[in-house]
Structure 1
Amino acid sequence: MRTLFSSLLLPLMLLATPARADLHITRDHGGYVEEYKAKYQRIRDRRERVIIDGICNSACTLVFGIVPLNKICVTPRASLGFHQAYYDKAFTFGIKVTSLEGTSELMSYYPQPVKDWIARNGGLTTEMKKIKNGVDLWKIVDPCPEEY
């Protein structure tokens, strides 16, 4: 009887428990803005959490403008990198050509704490500007709870 009860209860418990799929960012150097926007909109719509546990550079940082900040946390290994947007080098003969329109779009997504940090650090340029774990990062996003 106990085995029958257990075999019926377990599947019901699994159905009743909502699936939670956290996104762990450990080494993301960025990519195409449109792909990141779609990815983070799916995460936001599913109400999933994002744990930044390493490098999150370039388009990866759009997470802060799309996923609610209360669904994002950073570990001691977190590092963010910001720079101006540029066109795909495949279309510019391998030369990095910045996009003022793309940079403006990036900035439009960022919440005020990100914009404030960027402004305090000279604005977006072609050079990567990084925030590592610490007070500056915690002004933008909370540290993860100890269990991460």
Structure 2
Amino acid sequence: MPVRLVSPLLFALAAIFGVLPDPVVAAQPISRSAPLVVGNDPGGRLRPRIAEVNRLRANGRRVEIRGDYCMSACTIYLGVGNVCVSPRTQFGFHGPSFREGGNRYARFDRWSRIMAAYYPAPVRGWFLSYARFLTKRHATVSGLELIQLGVPRC
């Protein structure tokens, strides 16, 4: 069950492994000319998504996050740098979870901080103080709330 933030102010003040396969969009060839449009993305494994974001960032490719939702590892796209979001898109954030070995704190903390490094500053603080502790559900934030925090609008 998602947790809904009640206002951008609370979100700013509070300033992953997913279990689904990575969506096809992550496998598209990188091109500087055409933006990568991401939408209705359930997330996926964190390592491949981070590698994709690093490639996009290195190539300067624009990423437009649109559609109804961007969940879990999809939110790492916020770290591309040349990114914009639709005000209607719902973003789902949660902390890292592990299939084996349990959630030992050092591992949990390491991956939480890796994830947070891909978020804009107000999102990073909120994620580290709140959303990373959600591992069986997620916190939902609208694109409009992200825009109000400084993420560019598509």
Q: When the two structures are superposed, what TM-score results if normalisation uses the length of structure 2?
A: 0.64
Q: Are 2:117 and 2:124, in contact at CA under 8 Å, matched by a contact in 1? A: no
If you compute each CA radius of gyration, which structure gives the higher value, 1 or 2? 1
Q: Are 1:86 and 1:102, in contact at CA under 8 Å, matched by a contact in 2? A: no
In 2: Cα distance, 1:56 partner to 1:43 partner: 17
- Tell me which residue corresponds to 2:28: none
Sequence identity (%): 31
Number of equivalenced pairs: 116
In 2: Cα distance, 1:104 partner to 1:118 partner: 9
Cα displacement (A) at 1:141 = 0.9
Structure 2's unaligned 5+ residue stretches are: 1-30
RMSD value, Cα: 2.3
Cα displacement (A) at 1:140 = 4.0
| Structure of higher RCO (CA pairs closer than 8 Å, 6+ residues apart) | 2
Pairing of 1:1-148 with structure 2 (within 5 A): 20-54=33-67, 55-65=69-79, 67-68=80-81, 71-87=82-98, 89=99, 91=100, 97-98=102-103, 99-118=108-127, 122-124=130-132, 125-126=134-135, 127-134=137-144, 136-138=145-147, 139-144=149-154
In 2: Cα distance, 1:129 partner to 1:118 partner: 9
The verdict on how the C-alpha distance between 1:19 and 1:84 changes in structure 2, with shifts beyond 3 A counting, is closer
In 2: Cα distance, 1:47 partner to 1:104 partner: 24
Moved over 6 A (4+): none
Q: Are 2:36 and 2:63, in contact at CA under 8 Å, matched by a contact in 1? A: yes
Structure 1's unaligned 5+ residue stretches are: 1-17
Cα displacement (A) at 1:26 = 0.8
Q: When the two structures are superposed, what TM-score results if normalisation uses the length of structure 1?
A: 0.66
